[in-house]
Structures are given as structure tokens and as C-alpha cells.
Amino acid sequence: MAIVVTVAAAPGFAAAQQAGDAGRGQTLFQRQCSACHQIAQARNGVGPTLQGVNGRAADTVEGFNYSPAMKNSGVVWGPETLETYLANPTAMVKGTRMVQRVPNEQQRRDIIEFLTAGQ
């Protein structure tokens, strides 16, 4: 029994058990993110387009007016940086204009899976 508990407590075990779901992520994106962000079309809204976000530097979408904080952040988007940012944008990049959080860890995983699927 101790071995089972040890394995269950191993880092990454919970994440593997609760991997993101792109289908749920799409629904969550539409509900929580699409008022400001586009993904289907490479066009900016209140926030920059998130099309092709995985591996992209944070301040590189042409035509979007980034905050000085985001311009100077040095962030390159990937699953880890998206996880941290969606949990608390203003803690990661002080001075960012994005204040909307996704407090639920599973919902963040789902949204990130949707944003990065196929990239």
C-alpha cells in the first residue's frame, strides 16, 4: 500500500491523470476568453490574437498595442508560461492589462490544451 501512495504522490502523476482536454478547452475559451481574444482568425481584439501562441514571444503580434510591462516581460508562451499567466496574470507580469484569471487548474489545462493543440 505504501508503494501505491508513493506513486500517487509522485510529481506529475496528478497532471497525467488530469491532462487538458481540447474540446472542453474550446468551450471554456469561448465562454471566458473570446470577448477579448481571437484564435480562429489572426486578428486582434481587446487582446492580441492567440492563433499560433505556442512558442511565440509575448509582444510580437503585429498591430497590437502591448502594455509596456508586456513589451519588457521577455515571456515566450508555452504550456508552463500560459499556466502561470492564466492563474494570475498580474502576479506574473506586473502592469499587464489582462486581469481576468482562470482560478481552476483543470480549466487552465483544458484552455492551454485547446490553444496549443496541433502547434
Asked if residue 58 lies in contact with residue 82, where contact means CB atoms within 8 angstroms, the answer is no
Q: Which CATH class is domain 19-116?
A: mainly alpha
Do residues 51 and 67 touch, judged by C-beta distance below 8 A?
A: no
| Ranges of the chain whose pLDDT falls below 70 | 1-17, 119
Contacts of 115 (CB under 8 A, 6+ apart): 25, 29, 39, 50, 53, 54, 82
pLDDT for 5-38, tens place per residue? 334 444 554 544 589 999 999 999 999 999 999 9
Three cell numbers written together for 15 = 497532471
Domains in the chain: boundaries: 19-116
The residue whose grid cell reads 481587446 is: 46
Q: How far apart are CA 24 and CA 47, in angstroms?
A: 22
- Residue 62: the pLDDT is 92
CA 93, 112, 22 angle in degrees (round to 5)? 165
